[in-house]
Amino acid sequence: MKKRRPVSSSVISAVGYDPVRRVLEVEFHNGSVYSYDGVEPLVFEQFLGAPSKGRYFNRWIADRYPFDRLD
């Protein structure tokens, strides 16, 4: 996994992505960290470019991919 990098969001503090394994890590401002499996590179790119990371996450990632809580 690549190191998580900070993002500008009121809900999400940082994200990391492994394009080979297609694993997305999302760290929230409340300290919880989740790993999402099978996330396509295009979805990650769109997520990073979204004006609202939280809205994009809720619509296109949450509940669409299998996930594990890491913390």
pLDDT digits over 23-51, tens only? 999 999 999 999 999 999 999 999 999 99
Question: Mean pLDDT, the chain, as a whole number?
Answer: 96
Kindly write down the DSSP assignment for every residue of the chain, as one continuous string.
-PPPEE---SSEEEEEEETTTTEEEEEETTS-EEEEES--HHHHHHHHH-S-HHHHHHHHTTTTS-EEE--
Q: Does 2 score more than 90 pLDDT? A: no
- Token pair listed for 44: 């990650």
Residue pair 11/54 in contact by the 8 Å Cβ criterion: yes
Q: Does 1 score more than 90 pLDDT? A: no
